[in-house]
Structure 1
Amino acid sequence: EAAQCDIVVIAAGSKTITGKKPVKSFSTKISLIRSIIQAMRPFRSDTILIIVANAVDLLTSLAQRISGLPACQVLGLGTFLDSVRHREMVADIPTDFQLDTISVNSYILGLHGEDHVVAWSTATISEAPKEKLLLANRLNRNELADKCQSRSQTIIRAKGIRTVVANICLSIFLDKSDVSPVSHYQPDLSSCFSMPAAIGRKGIISTQNII
């Protein structure tokens, strides 16, 4: 029955098991995701499949290949949570003016977690007065990136994952075309990778290439 839903979210395998070797953990997750998707098939032709588990790019690529769904209808949480975390930390930096998180536009690329990369060259602060934009000089980029990585478990415990998954689902249901850094198929890489993408009722509408 789940395969006939508008949106299917697979979060099985999202929990990291302490002390378990990464290779063994990945193997277990691959088997788990494969068995779940194969049991659900065939999906409804317009179903959107969302993967919420690490390694998200690997598992989203697997889901895209075995689900039978168009590539645009399969996506993973990617670095969405990392990007939200980063924007909050930038907004919290002391300045001479009030800075709201919504005015910070920055993306985290690469792998979710410790191996992500901040796309500093495309980061903007949209609502800050130009004459007061001294924020860049106050940023210790390496320190901020390290803090962003170390904050992951705190946000997970605070149910941050549920919030960003809900935002993705809302963008799909309401066909909002919101741009979010999610893992989705990249033809030039023949694999799924986290890049900013517009998300609507048909899944991935377009990719914003910022590399």
Structure 2
Amino acid sequence: MEKNCQEVDLRKVAVIGCGFVGSASAFALMQSGLFSEMVLIDADMDRAEGEAMDISHGMPFSRPMKIYAGDYDDIVDAAIIIITAGANQKPDETRLDLVHKNVGIFKMIIPKIKERNCKGILLIVSNPVDILTYAALKIGDFPESKVIGSGTVLDTSRLKYQIGEYLGVDSRSVHAFIIGEHGDSEIAAWSSANVSGVPMRNFYEMKGKHKYEKATANIADTVRNSAYEIIEKKKATYYGIAMSVRRICEAIVRDEKSILPVSSPMHGEYGISDVVLSMPAIVGKNGLEEHMPIELNGDEIKALRESAETLKEVLRNIEF
């Protein structure tokens, strides 16, 4: 039955896909206190029911919240609809290898959301996130501001963590972004990076770290390969992305106007268009409000354009 939703419940969230990432995200959101109602949806209804039961049993140690397994009719008034459904990334498999399998899954999911005229914000987490955010926009014909990919929010967190560890400072005082594809062609934007306002190169020198180019290149490589290393060791990554999902939801529900490197369409910025990738943007209750320009040098702009072309090449082989 088709339902129409004119208003959303700011205290309600939906999670579509109850695998490792979906269930970890649901658990993180339960602990956040941001929502009072959460519906879990999965092709395997038993899995969704089991996750809802398991998380609900921790309610006496947290804030009151209604958590249950449901179907697509239960999402019409959700403020945020989080999509984590898709095939898992396997060892030695890149995020882009997943594209055809997961676009096929999105061709089943997105129309079900579209036909119910949901007004909530879609948060795409499934990989490859840039391609699937593009797919959600094309298949569903949603307003661009209402479809956000988790993008490089996790990669940026990994970058801040690694810089903090290397320099011996609180990672929350590190201001730096990973931009471009959430994947192998991502770029660490060192030109705009700083520690509490001190340019990164200057802070390195203050800490007695004089091999700046080598150190930053090593950190960027570590961040780029983090997912592969984790997958090799434990077969999947889910805690880091769950915390990233929580952070994005927090910015939306609390209308924080936070600047996060989420995945969204480009319209000529840095000479890039007709592709979805990650750049810093203001995120609030209306979704993505606007991109925030950051300082990039010539090499970084070139790498960003190459990252965009990598994604475009994949898109050329997909029918939406």
Superposition TM-score tier, normalisation by shorter sequence: 0.7 to 0.9
CA contact (8 A) 1:3 1:41 kept: no
**Deviations 1:141-191, CA, capped at 9 Å, x for gaps:** 221111112222539646000001011011101100111101012222122
Of 85, 91, 111, the residue aligned with 1:38 is 111
Shift of residue 209 of structure 1? 2.3
Matches within 5 A, 1:54-73: 54-73=127-146
Q: What is the CA distance between 1:128 and its match in structure 2?
A: 6.1
Whether 1:5 and 2:81 are equivalent positions in the alignment is: no
Greater percentage in helix: 2
Paired residue secondary structure (1:8): strand
Which aligned runs of 4 or more in structure 1 are off by greater than 4 angstroms?
A: 18-24, 127-133
Q: 1:183 to 1:20 in 2, by over 3 A?
A: closer
Where in structure 2 are the equivalents of 1:21-100 lying within 5 Å?
25-44=98-117, 46-94=119-167, 99-100=169-170
Structure-2 change in CA distance of 1:167 and 1:43 (3 Å): farther
C-alpha separation in 2, matches of 1:31 and 1:129: 44
Identity among equivalent pairs (%): 28
Task: Name the counterpart of 1:159.
Answer: 239
Aligned length: 208
* Partner of residue 145, structure 1: 220
**Equivalent residues of 2:95, 2:183 under 8 A apart:** no
- For the residues of structure 2 that align with 1:118 and 1:23, how far apart are their CA atoms? 20
**1:99 offset after TM fit, Å?**
1.4
Task: Name the counterpart of 2:318.
Answer: none
TM-score normalised per structure 2: 0.59
Aligned equivalents of 1:124, 1:117: Cα separation in 2: 16
Max Rg structure? 2
User: Aligned residue for 1:120?
Assistant: 190
SS in structure 1 of the partner of residue 280 of structure 2: strand
Q: CA RMSD in A?
A: 2.7
Q: Provide structure 2 residue ranges, at least 5 long, that are not aligned to the other structure.
A: 1-73, 297-320
Do 1:80 and 1:182's aligned partners in 2 also have CA atoms closer than 8 Å? yes
